[in-house]
Amino acid sequence: MPKTPIDSDVDSPLAGRTDGATSTSARPVATKPASVARLAWLIGPALVAGVAYLDPGNVASNMTAGAQYGYLLVWVVVLGNVMAWLIQYLSAKLGIVTGESLPEVLGRRMRNRWGRRAYWLQAELVAMATDLAEVIGGAVALNLLFGVPLVWGGLITGTVSIVLLMLQSRRGPRTFEFVIMGLLVIIALGFSVGVFIAPPDPAGLAAGLVPRFEDANSVLLAASILGATIMPHAIYAHSALSRDRFVMRQGAGPTTTGAAANAAATGRPLRRLAARLVVREGTGDLDRVRGGEPGTATVLPVDRLVRATRWDVTIAMAIAGTVNLCILLLAAVNLAGVEGTDSLEGAYAALDASLGPVIATLFAVGLLASGLASTSVGAYAGAEIMQGLLHVRIPLLLRRLITLVPALAILWLGFDPTLSLVLSQVVLSFGIPFALVPLVALTARSSVLGRWRNRWATTIAGIAASAFLITLNGVLLWLVFTGA
């Protein structure tokens, strides 16, 4: 097929990157037009990021909320999922259009070295709190299923995450996505089957959609649910996942975006703000692309990629929101008023007693899949945060071991795993504004996204979500410091 100007030779898809991940001398890649069937291959990054919304912290927060307050906080789960859709879409759009992750964009724009380091520190603490929840959840699941001691269970969970990350780096994002999506299916089945066995009361479910709190502890749990639903590290990770899947066609033609003029004025290289992007379809080796003959890729307009990303995010958030709601309803129907259900172990025992060993085992298997999948995504996000903000890349194994230390220490010292999970989600809730406010501000600027910047209604919705989350956290702080 004869080449068009769009289908001319492609330079290295990651030209201009300074992280050393690829070489700018990579040979050109042949391209071919997109088909309807190939558009299905665009689905994936949001599903991987969406696993962060189904981590053990979500399980602990939603189970505790359902067991203690029944249907009271159903509205928090629904509202959190709606806000999560908007936030993840903005993150993915930033990665697609700029070709950079949110940490990379912030790291380049922050001129003050100490300010950048301070921002990195809070983001790193959030990533460690995430890792805490995921490793502890995996350890508890292994203990419930096989009687593995918690410390050893934490080590096993961390080791599996390393294997999954090695798979991502060696076999590419698509293979990594398939593995994570397989675990996502297990998570959905493990946490949803019990709701069909013991369905919720429709009247109670409808009443739970009315926003209200009962006491200070319900506010704490609401903040925990939101921290588990709208996770800062998922915001950082999604932009990076989209960047890795959709690579720039260098020299694809002139761009009409304001970022082009800005890049020319500042002397910085224009990174991927062009009319079309190449969609990589296989291994992580940028010189060998699967999905057709070796060395091929699909060329799509950015507009079409952005539209496809909306579907990707919609599917991912629909799955995550449904499963989270099922977890809360499972507890509200079967665990309300039952003693000992304030822990994952107690919830497992109560499910065994009320619904039988099959449902209890499915719950534990879902918890294990949740811990294994989400800890690998969390480690991916943590590495991206360090590289993007500090421009530092340390060996993956070393980083994985460092972030494992807090979780293993808590398990070793015998702290309550479930309480640790819930409190870790509160820490995540306080980290949300630091990721969300810059994301909304950046995606609203034509100098960053050009003609793909947010519409005014989208920006207003992002501001409203940020204000709500910041206000909730402020109320929570006031309750804590006043002893209320």
pLDDT digits (tens, 9 = 90+) for 435-469: 999 999 999 999 999 999 999 999 999 999 889 88
Q: Answer for the pair 323, 187: CB distance below 8 angstroms, yes or no.
A: yes
In this prediction, residues 190-218 reach a mean pLDDT of 92
| Tokens encoding 235 | 């915001």
Residue 279's pLDDT band, with cuts at 50, 70 and 90, is: low
pTM of the model: 0.80
How remote is the C-alpha of 463 from its chain's centroid? 20
Distance CA 139, CA 41 (A): 34
Q: Answer for the pair 239, 92: CB distance below 8 angstroms, yes or no.
A: yes
Q: Which of 55, 135, 58 is nearest to 330 (CA)?
A: 58
Q: Answer for the pair 72, 208: CB distance below 8 angstroms, yes or no.
A: yes
In this prediction, residues 302-326 reach a mean pLDDT of 90
Give the residue with greater pLDDT, 168 vs 330.
330
Please say if the pLDDT value at position 92 is more than 80: yes
pLDDT value at residue 431: 82
Give the residue with greater pLDDT, 335 vs 10.
335
pLDDT value at residue 425: 65
pLDDT value at residue 325: 95
Query: In degrees rounded to 5, what are phi and psi of residue 149?
Result: -55, 145
Type of residue at 10? V
Q: How are beta strands 296-301 and 30-33 bridged, if at all? A: parallel
Q: Answer for the pair 304, 329: CB distance below 8 angstroms, yes or no.
A: no
Distance CA 140, CA 154 (A): 8
pLDDT value at residue 282: 47
pLDDT digits (tens, 9 = 90+) for 256-265: 333 433 443 3
Beta strands in 124-209 (DSSP E): none
By CB atoms closer than 10 A (0-12, 13-18, 19+), residue 441 is middle
Distance CA 195, CA 363 (A): 11
Can you tell me which residue has the tokens 């008023």?
Answer: 337
- Three-class SS state of 298: strand
Please say if the pLDDT value at position 74 is more than 50: yes
pLDDT digits (tens, 9 = 90+) for 230-262: 888 889 999 998 888 876 543 333 333 334 334
Please report the sign of the dihedral spanned by the C-alpha atoms of residue 213, residue 214, residue 219, residue 220. negative
pLDDT digits (tens, 9 = 90+) for 400-427: 777 788 888 888 888 877 677 767 766 7
Q: What is the DSSP string of 406-441?
A: HHHHHHHHT--HHHHHHHHHHHHHHHHHHHHHHHHH
Residue 269's pLDDT band, with cuts at 50, 70 and 90, is: very low
